[in-house]
Chain A
Amino acid sequence: MNPWTLVRANRGVAAVLGLLVLSACLLVAAVPKVTQSAYDEALRDTVAGSEPSRTDLVVVSQRRSGSGRPLTPEALLEAERSFRAALPAELRPVVTPLGTGGSHYGVHKDEVPIISVDGQARSYQYLDLGWLSDTGRRVRYVAGRPPGPPGKLDGGPLFEVALARQAAEKMRLSVGATVLLGDTGKLAARVSGLFEPLDPASRYWLHNTAVRQVMEISKPMADHPDWHATGLVSDASLPELGRLYRNTDYRWVIGVDGPAVTTLRAPGLVEAVSAFRGAVPVVLDGPSPGSLETALDALLTEHLTRLRVAESLLLLFVGGLLAVALGVIALAVRLLAERMSHGLALIRARGASLARIAATATATASAVAAPGAVAGYALSYAVPGPVTPIVHLGPLAVVAATALFAAGHAVTHRWPRFDRRDDVVASRPSPRRITAEASVVVLALAGTYLLRSRGLTTQAGERGSDPFLLLVPAGLTLAVALVVVRCYPYPLRLAARLAVRLRPAVPFLGLALAARARPASTLSALILLPALAVAVFGAVISSGLTVTQTTSAWQQVGARARLDSALPVVPETVERIRRVPGVRAVVTATRTATMMRTDMQRVTLLAVDVPSYRAVLRDGPLVLPDAPVLISPDLENRGTIELVGPRPRTLTPGGVVTGLSRVYGGGPLVLAPPDGSPANTVFVDGEGLDAKLLLAAANLPGAQVTTLDGVLEDIAETPFTATIERAFTVATIALAGYALAAVLVALVTGGAERAGALTHLRALGLSQGQARRLTVLEISPMIVLTAVAGLLLGLALPAALGPGVDLSAYTGGLAVEVYPADLTAPVLLTVGLAAAAMLGAFAYAAFGRGRPLGTALRGLRGEE
């Protein structure tokens, strides 16, 4: 039989099925693309946010002896080419050619102290000598000329050097200055010119900050930092520089192209970097072997760890979503099969083989599913993102599942007979089915135990995700759904027993109809329940994530805004800050690093007026006990605290404050009343605080302002976190839609039988209003029971799986409170869905009222 004829004959149901397949295919193809592009965005952020010296591949050779060959630019270029030749294939597409991006090479001789400049002695100053490839294109001379070939001074080499203008000014070195340098032998330099870097923000100059500016380096125990400037020598001076091998580094930088580093390439790149690390000493062997300095592999590994956590969570949601989508598709296929059942039963009776029936049903379902899948697949291309195999395979799997569901229904035509009674209450499940259901329940419980003890995401980085554990939440949901379906008749019987004593007939009739509904009607419970559970779970996790992110931000800032200054904060400054728009209250504090007398443990002392500070913290999650002296939990049970330092203090703690110590790195913290020391910290309370305005008002050099909103944005707006949040939202909306679709499809599936029963009852005197109430009552036990079970499961899932899901990567390091802090959203979600489902039932009942009774009864007789 031509499947298109059957599709045309059942176009309404076919359209519903087509839409469901379309949405499922769109989700299954688009979500991986979106998440994959979010992962890539996160990786790009990571690479772009890191120092080029960490992300680029830098081959460093520290010279320990003079090389036999003279050092020339050509020799360095030759070495550069040999490194590139040794690059593993995976790395080649992501590195930039020489002269572009960060790729270049150079020589740097450091720790060259200045003895005198033009005869005047200098101290704490160094003039390091360096050579960089490609300088001609990277600098602009603002004074003098480029350096020329080396000369001689007092029998030692004299290098002509060019300095960055900024560095020369700071070091007070002018063009023509002759600098005597201290080394093993005699060494001198003459400044030939000053330059300014072209595009100082480029990766080339980020690699060579020491050439661009003076580096201040504080040596241990020194009271004054050393200043290091670098003078660039000419190509002609390179052989001479090569002979000064002491403290000389040769560096070849192979730049990495940030956008080319994608998540899909990451695992291969980690291995390739490791392989290259091994290859470098082989390429550059001899007395001064090379080594690879890069943190690219570490960055990628860290990214992959976070990725696995995100993937595990998304797999939970998208997997749940897909399962629910397939469930609704199965219901729609069932509806289509029922609509085709008369025709199929007839052709079966007229001599069609079972294989033919299966082929017809499968072809019909596929004829509907295939265009839907193609449309969903095509629509997914409107979503930006890399195309992974799942984008192609997902829609195929959905179509295959649809076809399989349809083929499965052919079994009902094994015997071409009709009129078999099936009751929810009376039918007894086969031992095989009970065993299978019990196995699912036991497996789900065992899986939950394993998940709690082993963790789903905590060890994902080390061990990778465990597919069995990933299936646990879905399994647990299925187990609860099975238990609900199995137990569904018992409260129904009880309710019917109570209802029979009532005077109105509608409650009893409604419950009786519900009890006598076919088992198929409970199938929608198997979809409604996971949909609700996953949606509620998502809402709980999402709200938990938001709350924890806020808590984490409060713990990192310690107020709505905090100003830290190295210079004392005077009352005038405080007054200026107080006048900044949005500021409500200002509290000053003195933060001092000190030590405990007993064991010399380092302690941060925050001298602040606790009652005033408590007022600043009143809106946040940080709670200060009512006592003048407070300590962090790690100092608990230590009795009186004696602090040493310029102002020794002895303090008796009056309470413990948790979380606040994260403001100062998480070490031991003591809050004590002010002791008159000048303030260096300002805690600000207010609304819409702007860091720039506060900083401008303070007008303190070197001061830093941290705002709660800024920190929260940093935590919450990372691509990973945003993806997880977006996935929660999409999953919740989609699940709500599917749950509604499941209820409506279930209603339509039982529509003919319900209409038959109602028509008989209307002939006996049932009014239109009673008929509508009856329909709602018939569907409500299942909806109410499923909604309650779904809500409870959704609320229990985070607690059951909580220890196994580590979301701290998304909260700035703080473990997520997975217990539902606010029940409003989940309860509203459940009640809304249940109400929408019942409204659907009511509308369905109202829709059928226009049929005259006589016509309806005649139609009914025809159907029997």
Chain B
Amino acid sequence: MTVSRPTGPDAPDISDVSVPSSLAELESEAVRHRPAFGENAHILCDNLVRIYKTEGVEVVALQGLDLLIDAGELVAIVGASGSGKSTLLNVLSGLDVPTAGVARVAGVDLLSMAARDRLRYRREVVGFVWQQTARNLLPYLTAAENVELPMRLAGARRRGRAGELLELLGVGYCARRRPGEMSGGEQQRVAVAVALANSPQVLLADEPTGELDSETSEEVFAALRAANRELGVTAVIVTHDVLVSEQVDRTVGIRDGRTSSETLRRASSDGRIVAEEYAVLDRVGRLQLPRDFMNELNMERRVRLQLERDHIGVWPEGAEDGTGRADGEAGGAESGT
């Protein structure tokens, strides 16, 4: 990548900026003006790495993933199979330990937890829902008993809590039914109730609608959204389901073990939902260009960057200088600052 600095009248004037005299000053200056990365985030992953070793072969499932989620957010995580979504969710739910990096959920550092802390974390901080309806519930317990189970495990059984949760999620009528007597959608909504039993701060769901038809998926997603909005639980949903990913405030894309894109949705002035897709820039300035953009412009190995006043232009190798506007506009991609 070649980088050119802007020159001419549009270039910013830096003559009046005071220059720090030493490295220590530089550092203190940085700390004074900028908060630490993800300081206020409810879920923080910084340069998260997870390597599996299977019979001598190393598989890098997470390759320096960064992720920030604020409290009360409803976030969907999407990505191709094998991109590391489920690994990320396992790490966040305390079922797996990352190899390196930083992972913090609700102020709990997931790398330095002792076994006892991990148990408490699973009991009190997170709740989760798996894809397979059968895997979420014990087949020989009723819905109410399944919901009560985490409370009993935590040693804090609250009477009526199970019924309340089931009512909230629209499956109050299933309280006395066993999983075998419920539909897939009902089972998943009960599973959401189980995940919420101990009032967790974070709800993690791994493809909760993966086995369901669209109508039932809608019901389950409604249950998840109800939990998010009415109980204030931060919800992270790994999904392939467009119905789900298009209804959340933010969708994070993962590619090859890294966050690659984010789609933010907001309501426009005329009431329509406007979705804007962003590429993710990590702390050291790396970003993943969308694969179809690269294919379109035959970008391979090297690109040329051009810093403009309000954006950065990216040109494939061999294209004309970025200042030649006609060429640059036609053959390059530009990144706004």
Partner-A contacts on B (CB < 8 A): 54-55, 90, 93, 95-96, 115, 119, 122-123, 128, 132, 134-136, 138-141, 149-150, 153-154, 194, 198, 211
User: Within the assembled complex, what's the spacing in Å between the Cα atoms of A415 and B135?
Assistant: 17
A356 touches B153 (CB 8 A): yes
Given contacts A417-B90, A417-B95, contact A1 B149 (CB under 8 A): yes
A351 touches B141 (CB 8 A): no
A350 touches B96 (CB 8 A): no
Given contacts A353-B119, A426-B55, contact A346 B138 (CB under 8 A): yes
CB neighbours of A350 from chain B (8 A): 122-123, 149-150, 153, 194
Closest to B56 in A: A428
B149 touches A347 (CB 8 A): yes
A417 touches B96 (CB 8 A): yes
Closest to A426 in B: B55
B140 touches A8 (CB 8 A): yes
Within 8 A of B (CB), among A410-437: 415-417, 421, 423, 426-428
Q: How far is the CB of A323 from chain B (nearest CB, A)?
A: 33
B138 touches A416 (CB 8 A): no
CB neighbours of B139 from chain A (8 A): 9
User: Within the assembled complex, what's the spacing in Å between the Cα atoms of A787 and B154?
Assistant: 50
Closest to A428 in B: B55
Q: A421 contacts which of B54, B150, B198 (Cβ < 8 Å)? A: B54
User: Within the assembled complex, what's the spacing in Å between the Cα atoms of A352 and B118?
Assistant: 11
User: Within the assembled complex, what's the spacing in Å between the Cα atoms of A417 and B86?
Assistant: 12
A120 contacts B by Cβ under 8 Å: no
A184 contacts B by Cβ under 8 Å: no
**Cβ contacts A to B, 13 pairs, < 8 Å:** A1-B149, A9-B139, A347-B153, A349-B93, A350-B123, A351-B123, A351-B150, A351-B153, A351-B198, A356-B153, A417-B96, A421-B54, A862-B134
CB neighbours of B132 from chain A (8 A): 862
User: Within the assembled complex, what's the spacing in Å between the Cα atoms of A354 and B114?
Assistant: 14
Within 8 A of B (CB), among A4-49: 5-6, 8-9
Closest to B121 in A: A351
Closest to A352 in B: B153
A342 contacts B by Cβ under 8 Å: yes
Q: How far is the CB of B125 from chain A (nearest CB, A)?
A: 10
Within 8 A of B (CB), among A374-426: 415-417, 421, 423, 426
Closest to B52 in A: A420
User: Within the assembled complex, what's the spacing in Å between the Cα atoms of A417 and B87?
Assistant: 11
Q: A349 contacts which of B54, B122, B141, B198 (Cβ < 8 Å)? A: B122
Q: Assuming A415-B95, A416-B95, A862-B134, what are 14 further A-B pairs, CB within 8 angstroms?
A: A6-B140, A343-B140, A346-B136, A350-B122, A350-B123, A351-B119, A351-B123, A351-B153, A353-B119, A417-B90, A417-B95, A421-B55, A428-B55, A862-B132
CB neighbours of B93 from chain A (8 A): 349
User: Within the assembled complex, what's the spacing in Å between the Cα atoms of A273 and B149?
Assistant: 68
Within 8 A of B (CB), among A584-633: none
Closest to B127 in A: A350
CB neighbours of A343 from chain B (8 A): 138, 140
Q: How far is the CB of A596 from chain B (nearest CB, A)?
A: 81
CB neighbours of A351 from chain B (8 A): 119, 122-123, 150, 153-154, 198
CB neighbours of B138 from chain A (8 A): 343, 346-347
Closest to A346 in B: B138
User: Within the assembled complex, what's the spacing in Å between the Cα atoms of A8 and B141?
Assistant: 11
CB neighbours of B154 from chain A (8 A): 351
CB neighbours of B136 from chain A (8 A): 346
Q: How far is the CB of B263 from chain A (nearest CB, A)?
A: 30
User: Within the assembled complex, what's the spacing in Å between the Cα atoms of A347 and B198?
Assistant: 13
Within 8 A of B (CB), among A330-363: 342-343, 346-347, 349-354, 356
User: Within the assembled complex, what's the spacing in Å between the Cα atoms of A349 and B119?
Assistant: 9
CB neighbours of B123 from chain A (8 A): 350-351
Q: How far is the CB of B110 from chain A (nearest CB, A)?
A: 14
Contact with B along A425-458 (1 / 0, CB 8 A): 0111000000000000000000000000000000
Closest to B122 in A: A351
Q: How far is the CB of A854 from chain B (nearest CB, A)?
A: 16
Q: How far is the CB of B116 from chain A (nearest CB, A)?
A: 8
Question: 7 closest pairs, A vs B, by CB?
Answer: A351-B123, A9-B140, A351-B153, A350-B150, A351-B122, A352-B153, A343-B138
Q: How far is the CB of B146 from chain A (nearest CB, A)?
A: 9
User: Within the assembled complex, what's the spacing in Å between the Cα atoms of A356 and B123?
Assistant: 14
CB neighbours of A1 from chain B (8 A): 149
A349 touches B95 (CB 8 A): yes
CB neighbours of A8 from chain B (8 A): 140
Q: How far is the CB of A350 from chain B (nearest CB, A)?
A: 5
User: Within the assembled complex, what's the spacing in Å between the Cα atoms of A686 and B132?
Assistant: 80
User: Within the assembled complex, what's the spacing in Å between the Cα atoms of A8 and B149?
Assistant: 18
CB neighbours of A415 from chain B (8 A): 95
CB neighbours of A427 from chain B (8 A): 55
CB neighbours of A354 from chain B (8 A): 115
Within 8 A of B (CB), among A99-137: none
CB neighbours of B115 from chain A (8 A): 354
User: Within the assembled complex, what's the spacing in Å between the Cα atoms of A129 and B156?
Assistant: 97
User: Within the assembled complex, what's the spacing in Å between the Cα atoms of A5 and B178?
Assistant: 13
User: Within the assembled complex, what's the spacing in Å between the Cα atoms of A604 and B136?
Assistant: 91
Q: B140 contacts which of A5, A421, A428 (Cβ < 8 Å)? A: A5
User: Within the assembled complex, what's the spacing in Å between the Cα atoms of A727 and B211?
Assistant: 59
User: Within the assembled complex, what's the spacing in Å between the Cα atoms of A385 and B245?
Assistant: 76
User: Within the assembled complex, what's the spacing in Å between the Cα atoms of A342 and B140?
Assistant: 12
User: Within the assembled complex, what's the spacing in Å between the Cα atoms of A116 and B92?
Assistant: 122
User: Within the assembled complex, what's the spacing in Å between the Cα atoms of A426 and B54?
Assistant: 11
Q: How far is the CB of A519 from chain B (nearest CB, A)?
A: 14
User: Within the assembled complex, what's the spacing in Å between the Cα atoms of A421 and B135?
Assistant: 20
User: Within the assembled complex, what's the spacing in Å between the Cα atoms of A537 and B96?
Assistant: 51
CB neighbours of B135 from chain A (8 A): 342, 346
Within 8 A of B (CB), among A546-571: none
User: Within the assembled complex, what's the spacing in Å between the Cα atoms of A495 and B122?
Assistant: 48
CB neighbours of A356 from chain B (8 A): 153
CB neighbours of A423 from chain B (8 A): 55
Q: How far is the CB of A864 from chain B (nearest CB, A)?
A: 8
User: Within the assembled complex, what's the spacing in Å between the Cα atoms of A356 and B154?
Assistant: 11
Q: How far is the CB of A121 from chain B (nearest CB, A)?
A: 107
User: Within the assembled complex, what's the spacing in Å between the Cα atoms of A343 and B153?
Assistant: 13
Residue of B119, B134, B138 most packed against chain A (CB within 10 A)? B138
CB neighbours of B140 from chain A (8 A): 5-6, 8-9, 343
User: Within the assembled complex, what's the spacing in Å between the Cα atoms of A350 and B135?
Assistant: 12
User: Within the assembled complex, what's the spacing in Å between the Cα atoms of A434 and B221?
Assistant: 52
Closest to B128 in A: A349
CB neighbours of B198 from chain A (8 A): 351
Closest to A416 in B: B95
Q: How far is the CB of B168 from chain A (nearest CB, A)?
A: 19
CB neighbours of B119 from chain A (8 A): 351, 353
User: Within the assembled complex, what's the spacing in Å between the Cα atoms of A6 and B54?
Assistant: 33
CB neighbours of A342 from chain B (8 A): 135
User: Within the assembled complex, what's the spacing in Å between the Cα atoms of A346 and B123?
Assistant: 12
Residue of B96, B128, B136, B153 most packed against chain A (CB within 10 A)? B153
Q: How far is the CB of B131 from chain A (nearest CB, A)?
A: 10
User: Within the assembled complex, what's the spacing in Å between the Cα atoms of A421 and B139?
Assistant: 26
